[in-house]
């Protein structure tokens, strides 16, 4: 499937060219690129011909019969539907690109959040180790076998004996 899609009606035209590749296992891959060209065409009929040029052959409107107003009306309706189709296809490609950009951004944010979480977990572990060490030091200070004693009011009494 290959088509070029008209995205703006200015003298400077912008088209989105996309290709859909279907593999034998049923998966599909859509590739898109933007093609720009300058043109001096301004009439709707010329724009219509440009649109039709890039439609797949089975989607192109059949040219109207000369002098048949019903055929001409049907051709214009089909051409309008073809323009709408190309516009929708263009929007789908652009939305797909935006979605991919958002997914890439989300992936980067997830990676940053994971790194921050690991950093915080390491910090927590080091704080727990420091807490344990301080609790052990505090416990040693309360231990009566350490050469110091406590009075009932919580004061620590240090035995200071001088050799005689």
pLDDT of residue 105: 97
pLDDT of residue 10: 42
In a domain, 152, yes or no: no
Structure tokens at 15: 């088209």
In a domain, 155, yes or no: no
In a domain, 108, yes or no: yes
- The dihedral formed by the CA atoms of 137, 141, 147 and 150, expressed in degrees to the nearest 10: 180
Domain count, the chain: 1
Structure tokens at 7: 């995205």
In a domain, 29, yes or no: yes
In a domain, 45, yes or no: yes
In a domain, 65, yes or no: yes
Range of the domain at 52: 2-120
In a domain, 140, yes or no: no
pLDDT tens digits for range 56-74? 888 888 889 999 999 999 9
Partnered with residue 3 across adjacent β-strands are 18
d(CA 152, CA 55): 97
Structure tokens at 157: 């009494």
pLDDT tens digits for range 82-98? 889 988 988 999 999 99
Q: Is 147 helix (H, G, I), strand (E, B) or coil?
A: coil
In a domain, 89, yes or no: yes
Which parts of the chain have pLDDT scores under 70?
1-49, 51, 143-152, 154, 157, 161-164
Of 76, 30, 19, give the one whose Cα is nearest residue 51. Answer: 76
């Amino acid at each position: 499937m290959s088509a070029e899609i008209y995205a703006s009606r200015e003298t400077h035209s912008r088209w989105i060219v996309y290709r859909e590749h279907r593999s034998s296992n049923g998966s599909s891959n859509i590739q898109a690129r933007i093609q720009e060209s300058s043109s001096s065409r301004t009439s709707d009929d010329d724009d219509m011909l440009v649109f039709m040029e890039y439609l797949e052959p089975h989607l192109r409107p059949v040219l109207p019969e000369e002098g048949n107003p019903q055929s001409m009306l049907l051709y214009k309706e089909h051409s309008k539907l073809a323009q709408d189709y190309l516009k929708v296809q263009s929007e789908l490609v652009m939305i797909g690109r935006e979605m991919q950009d958002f997914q890439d951004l989300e992936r980067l944010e997830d990676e940053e959040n994971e790194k921050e979480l690991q950093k915080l977990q390491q910090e927590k572990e080091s704080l727990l180790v420091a807490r344990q060490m301080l609790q052990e030091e505090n416990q040693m200070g309360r231990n009566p076998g350490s050469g110091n004693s406590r009075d009932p009011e919580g004061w620590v009494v240090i035995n200071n004996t001088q050799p005689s």
